[in-house]
Structure 1
């Protein structure tokens, strides 16, 4: 049956070491306050129960290895924040997955940024409203290539870091996740049937802060390479990042 207009191509992320393959994105889930120090920074106890929010699948801003992604500064905010995160890519469908079996559902890992319009998030909290405009805007999920778990093995520890314009902002280790990857999958799959193509942004360590137009964000996780993103001038109507992001000189 024909569509009333041609559907957009699916959101997709490059696969490390596989130049001709892409990982199709189904949904994006995010875990809030999943590092103790950051949870305390944000007013939590440091050991709160996990909570989840989502971003649209096409919020991904895929950045190939060795490239610099182009992210426009989003509209309706004056307080854009970076949050560097381990991203888990799901490779098969599952519901109510026990933690003991959760790693069977992991296809791979990537480095991601949960970009946040913090002023809108704070206002939403004050009003008891949704985080959609704070978290789910266009290009709000920059992500590097996905590394298959067949190459990396299960990741249980490794440095996670972010610099802005060469200055240190975030430093931690993924072994400090309050809810590790198996626990997160177990908890999340109680609420949603996880599907092939789902991405889980697992939370950010302490040190999140504001970024400005012209800032260069450089972050990484041990074994997963680096993610580089330049914040471009405020988004104008019709802006679309270059499909071939700037190659690092």
Structure 2
């Protein structure tokens, strides 16, 4: 199954993202702590893999990093019960939910969707598949991120407000989760800006690291 899932980023249909899933992250952005999961989507065209660059979209003046654990769905499912949700997990990924923060803030004030702020090209840097068996307890996984060698984020999925089984169940009661889909589970505190020329390095403790250069979409 895992080998068959290794090319999920080429044929997966959607990236389902969970916002505000860490209390400290809510606090740092002055957002209310949600009573139910806050869900938004990224298109699969936003994927970028190591060896390529994160490109600041034209007109964005505040691009932020957000490191996250992603869950790769192994088979189609809808109305999934929490107690069987892990049967739909084929593996995991390390991902960045890159956010055009100025665009997002403007959209919030106008009551508009965040689609452009979260879904621009290269907005979802993503690792190769981490086999499910390599993470014994996905609800206690350490994540970290550095910018130019300086640590900015260091947290654990044990601090998530909504755990992975509850997220899979909640999402699948509204939209079918399909094989190859990725669920991004939220980011710990410490998000912040990056600029052209910066280098982002991030990792899942003791398992995997990845590194990306940041550049303008069109170099002068």
Q: Tell me whether 1:219 sits opposite 2:202 in the alignment.
A: yes
Q: Is the 8 A contact 1:120 1:133 kept in 2?
A: yes
1:87 aligns to what?
A: 70
Measure how far apart 1:88 and its partner are.
Answer: 0.5
Residue 135 of structure 2, aligned match among 147, 152, 161 = 152
**Selected match of 2:119 from 136, 146, 151:** 136
1:126 aligns with 2:109: yes
TM-score normalised by L of structure 2: 0.92
**Gap regions ≥5 residues in structure 1:** 1-14, 238-249
- Residue 117 of structure 1: aligned partner: 100
Q: Does 1:41 align with 2:28?
A: yes
Alignment-derived partner of residue 217 in structure 2: 235
Long gaps (5+) in structure 2: none
Deviations 1:111-170 (A, max 9, x none): 100000000000000000111110010110000111121343442212111000011101
Higher CA-based Rg = 1
Cα distance in 2 between the residues matched to 1:152 and 1:159: 11
2:189 is the counterpart of 1:169: no
Counterpart-to-counterpart distance in 2, 1:39 and 1:216: 25
* Count of residues in correspondence between the two structures: 215
**Which is richer in helix?**
2
Given the alignment of the two structures, is residue 62 of structure 1 paired with residue 49 of structure 2, yes or no? yes
Distance, in Å, in 2 between the alignment partners of 1:129 and 1:193 is 25
CA offsets 1:167-201 (integer angstroms, 9 cap, x no match): 11011111111111111111111110100010011
SS of equivalent to 2:143: strand
**Structure 1 counterpart SS, 2:84:** helix
Question: Any conservation in 2 of the 1:60–1:143 contact (CA below 8 Å)?
Answer: yes
How many angstroms apart in 2 are the aligned matches of 1:56 and 1:208?
22
Contact 1:111 1:224 in 2 (8 A): no
Counterpart of 2:192 in 1: which secondary structure?
coil
Q: Secondary structure at the match of 1:58?
A: helix
